[in-house]
Amino acid sequence: MKTKLVALATAAVFAAQGALAQDMVFTSWGGTTQDAQMAHWAAPFTEKGGPAVVADGPTDYGKIKAMVEAGAVSWDVVDAEYDWALQAGKAGLLEPLDFTVIDKTKLDPRFVSDFAVGSFYYSFVLGWNPANFTGDQPATLADLFDTAKFPGKRTFYKWSAPGVIEAALLADGVAPDALYPLDLDRAFAKLDTIKADIIWWEGGAQSQQLLASGEAPIGFFWNGRLAALAADGMPVGISWDQNITAADALVVPKGAANKEAAMKFIAEATSAEGQAAFAATTGYAPINLGSADLMDPAVRATLPDAQTAVQVNADMAYWAEHRDEIGNRWYAWQAQ
Amino acid sequence: MLSAIAARRRGSGLGFAMPAILLLLAFFVVPVAALLTRSVTEPEPGLQNYVTLLGNSTYARIFFNTFFVSAVVTLITVLIAFPVAWALAIMPRRWAGVIFAIILLSMWTNLLARTYAWMVLLQQTGLINRSLMALGLIDAPLQLTNNLVGVTIGMVYIMLPFMILPLMGVIKKIDPAILQAAALCGATKAQALWRVLVPLAAPGIASGALMVFVMSLGYYVTPSLLGGTANMMLAELIAQQVQSLLNWGMGGAAAFVLLVVTLGLYAVQLRFFEPGEGR
Amino acid sequence: MLLDFNKLGAWKWALSGICALMALFLLLPILFIVALSFGSSRWLIFPPPGWTLKWYEELFADPRWLGAALTSAKIGVIVMVLSVALGLLASLALVRGKFRGRAVLRAFFLTPMVLPVVIVAVALYAAFLRLGINGTLPGFVIAHLIVALPFAIITITGALETFDPAIEDAAILCGASPWEARLRVTLPGIRHGLFSAAIFSFLISWDEVVLAIFMASPSLQTLPVKVWTTLRQDLTPVIAAASTLLVALTVILMIAAALIRKGKSE
């Protein structure tokens, strides 16, 4: 009896391992974003003969580091922040991407690097609730920092990431081409002028709640979040003036079990079709240059794609280099 | 005879604690020690993580916040929980049952969902401020989030059951005759409360307060959503270092300092409140 | 007098008032969540512009919610049983034992509570990767047991300290074996403590998210992880709907239990 049980258990373990060896694991942040990624990237990938894709998550950098250190990596493709991806690539946590499988000629060069390609990109934009401002409506980043002209709480992304520091410098009059290297002293001095009026948002959903309820009538948001509010019938003001781009990246942790399948998956995810379908569902912009032609012009108009003329690109390489230093100062400043 | 009993009771010695000790040694002490060791080896061998941590006024402030917020939360929790636990212990059973059910219900709902609910309720445009204004009690909305008020409300909400339940058990077991004796000796109600009931309930208050205080030290989701960055707790800083910046050396150093300070406080508490081991 | 509700006089009303206020305080966010689950506003606008059942439809359309809830319940129950068992034994040693270093041991049992969970999570995850038990049910249970155990120990220790060991001695004098005395005298005497320990242990596991994120695998997701990712990403009232269903289920179970008790006593 006992040996039978052991045999059964062993068989079960092997069966599980067999399944793991075949299936590919894709990790992202969960919620509707990951659902869309599964629907528009994973499903076609499997249909075209690729292995089944299992969704895991949420993305956790600590987990990736521990996996790589232990040499037991269970995630094959991970959706991560782009600046983190560049830094992690340098730190040896990621596999170099195989560009014989992934066709980088079709991809937006802003979001291609040795260890990471864009998953999608988005812009930080000025948004406001028109119900709270009767006269002039905000238009520029300077207005975002002008509490005399536009009084009330303003909401900003809480975590140390490309976006808010750039906005402070631009609002202070720094020219877009002179942003880098970032003058942190100047940025924090500018942020200090409105610090008492800042409410931080920790996740996209919270930013929407703050704006919709009027708790923070003005703020700096991910464009897709404002588009979703508008699509739901909420009155929302959006100014694309000096919208600041940031991106998520697709990466393969070092030592991933299904490296080959992972590269093919990324090729599928960054294809013109995959990117177009995902962008239409989520309001994020595609990083494949061919996607625009596949999309409904009405949808395209709401994406950062259509706003490149007034766009400022956050320098991901600079961020990757200085991520720790900026992060430490950022959190210290917040806590003061 | 009594020594014979003592001998027979000797079974409940260290051996009883062994399963728990072994579990913690294997799955807590060894892994955590391995991680904390990194605080002196990463990014390079030495004590620089501790030098940074202890020599920086921001970190000092975050340490202070952590202990201050935890102390405020513990104090308010005790002040609310004591009368409630007392009432629950002696109320007619039907009413006690209803209140008890409400306490359990409040714990059953997901912590993050409860915190978000409080966040929306307490906002300047939230239900509470609007109700108070509609009632004419206030003219302008009160600032109830992103400050100490918000953290305290959110944390006390979570911690109350952890204080009430143990305390209720302790009060239930107090012999009413002792309080009758106090009354017979001429003690007023207030005297009986302070000199008899509270001291008799002290073990329950102590264990509940210990649980609430220590639990609060390690919390950050609720403080961060309701307290704003000015009330940043150490656990949030540690989570930043460990999960976002992957700076396990610094995260480990901060955790180690928190551990040492907390255990130090605990030692002080033991010395003052429970003198002598061989009680 | 202070322990006889009917002889409290004016204090009776003060105590009742405090209880009522606290009950209101505890109920407020829950009632708010219930109301939001029927509100039509995705952005938690209150009062909502209209009422709807669509969040419940979304909830039932996604089988992952139920799966996650069942996984959480399963892990929570196992953790509860183990935590109370180990916690009781450890507490007996701490309170009744006569060995040296009990105060140190007490502090030792407390440490998993002091360290921020993320430290425990990273450390355990790294260890589990090497042992190959990451993403498995035993791994999950061990992780939650580590953080639940201090709660059981503190609660049971507190209860044992107010329980007079002389009563156990009396039972032994009357011929009971030490184990019999413990099982039939001490355990019933500290049942409130055991009950609290069980509730706390279950709820620590049920509501724990940081360890859960590290211990989860595609086939092993708990409810807090699902709530966490959904709230951060979408803030959808589906979470309110899920919470409401849990609250409703609990209320039904509680009423049923009360009715059964009433039936028995009559």
Distance from CA of C102 to the nearest CA of B (A): 7
Interface of B to A at Cβ within 8 Å reads 56, 58-59, 61-62, 65, 120, 123-126, 146, 224-225, 228-230, 232, 237, 240, 242-248
Domain membership of residue B21 (yes or no) is no
Whole-number pLDDT of residue C137: 95
Whether residues A226 and A328 fall in one domain: yes
Distance from CA of B233 to the nearest CA of C (A): 11
Whether residues A105 and A142 fall in one domain: no
Distance from CA of C129 to the nearest CA of A (A): 6
The partner residue sitting opposite C126, judged by closest CB among A30, A57, A69, is: A69
Whether residues A202 and A328 fall in one domain: yes
* CB proximity list for B185: less than 8 A, separation 6 or greater: none
Tens place of pLDDT per residue across chain A (336 aa): 444 444 444 444 444 444 444 799 999 998 888 999 999 999 999 999 999 999 998 999 999 999 999 999 999 999 999 999 999 999 999 999 999 999 999 999 999 999 999 999 999 999 999 999 988 899 999 999 999 999 999 999 999 999 999 999 999 999 999 999 999 999 999 999 999 999 999 988 899 999 998 999 999 999 989 988 988 888 999 999 999 999 999 999 999 999 999 999 999 999 999 999 999 988 889 999 999 999 999 888 888 988 989 999 999 999 999 998 999 899 889 988
Whole-number pLDDT of residue B178: 87
Structure token pair of residue B23 = 């579990």
- Identify the domain containing residue A279 by its residue range: 2-119+247-308
**Coil, helix or strand at residue C121:** helix
Whole-number pLDDT of residue B274: 57
Q: Which residue has the higher pLDDT, A19 or C182?
A: C182
Q: Which of C229, C231, C236, C239 to mutate to test the interface with A (most CBs of A within 10 A)?
A: C229
Torsion angle, alpha carbons of A263, A265, A271, A277, to 10: -160
Whether residues A145 and A252 fall in one domain: no
Q: Which residues are C217's β-sheet partners?
A: C220
Nearest CA in chain A to B63: A335
Whole-number pLDDT of residue C42: 85
Give the tens place of pLDDT for each residue, C166-181.
888 888 888 888 888 8
Nearest CA in chain A to C62: A35
Whole-number pLDDT of residue A179: 95
Domains of chain C: 63-235 (1.10.3720.10)
Distance CA C220, CA A28 (A): 16
Whether residues A17 and A105 fall in one domain: yes
From the list A115, C196, A320, the residue with the least C-alpha distance to B171 is C196
CATH number for position A232:
3.40.190.10
* CB proximity list for C38: less than 8 A, separation 6 or greater: C48, C51, C52, C53, C55
Domain membership of residue B156 (yes or no) is yes
Whether residues A293 and A176 fall in one domain: no
The partner residue sitting opposite C86, judged by closest CB among B12, B23, B168, is: B23
Domain count within chain A: 2
Q: Helix axis angle, B93-108 relative to B57-90, nearest 10°?
A: 150
Whole-number pLDDT of residue B2: 52
Whole-number pLDDT of residue C265: 67
| Arithmetic mean of pLDDT over chain C | 90
Please check whether residue A270 is in contact with residue A102, taking contact to mean a CB–CB distance below 8 angstroms: yes
Query: Are A213 and B244 an interchain contact pair (Cβ–Cβ within 8 Å)?
Result: no
Please check whether residue B11 is in contact with residue B230, taking contact to mean a CB–CB distance below 8 angstroms: no
The yes-or-no verdict on residue B277 having pLDDT over 60 is no
Find the mean pLDDT for residues C142-151. Answer: 96
Per CB-CB distance under 8 Å, the chain A contacts of C134 are: 72, 74
Q: Which CB contacts under 8 angstroms, 24+ apart, belong to B3-9? A: B5/C169, B5/C172, B5/C173, B6/C98, B8/C172, B8/C178, B9/C96, B9/C165, B9/C168, B9/C169, B9/C172, B9/C178
Please check whether residue C126 is in contact with residue A66, taking contact to mean a CB–CB distance below 8 angstroms: yes
Nearest CA in chain B to A320: B245
Torsion angle, alpha carbons of A31, A33, A35, A41, to 10: -160
Whole-number pLDDT of residue B93: 85
The bridge status of strand A237-251 relative to strand A117-128 is antiparallel
Whether residues A95 and A194 fall in one domain: no
Q: Which residue has the higher pLDDT, B268 or A192?
A: A192
Whole-number pLDDT of residue B192: 87
Please check whether residue B53 is in contact with residue B247, taking contact to mean a CB–CB distance below 8 angstroms: no
The yes-or-no verdict on residue C118 having pLDDT over 80 is yes
Domain membership of residue B93 (yes or no) is yes
The bridge status of strand A237-251 relative to strand A77-81 is antiparallel
The yes-or-no verdict on residue B231 having pLDDT over 90 is no
Domain membership of residue B177 (yes or no) is yes
Domain count within chain B: 1
Alpha carbons within 13 A on the beta-carbon side of C24 = 6
DSSP per position, A64-102: HHHHHHHT----SEEEEEHHHHHHHHHTT-BPPP-TTTS
CATH number for position B184:
1.10.3720.10
- Identify the domain containing residue B246 by its residue range: 59-273
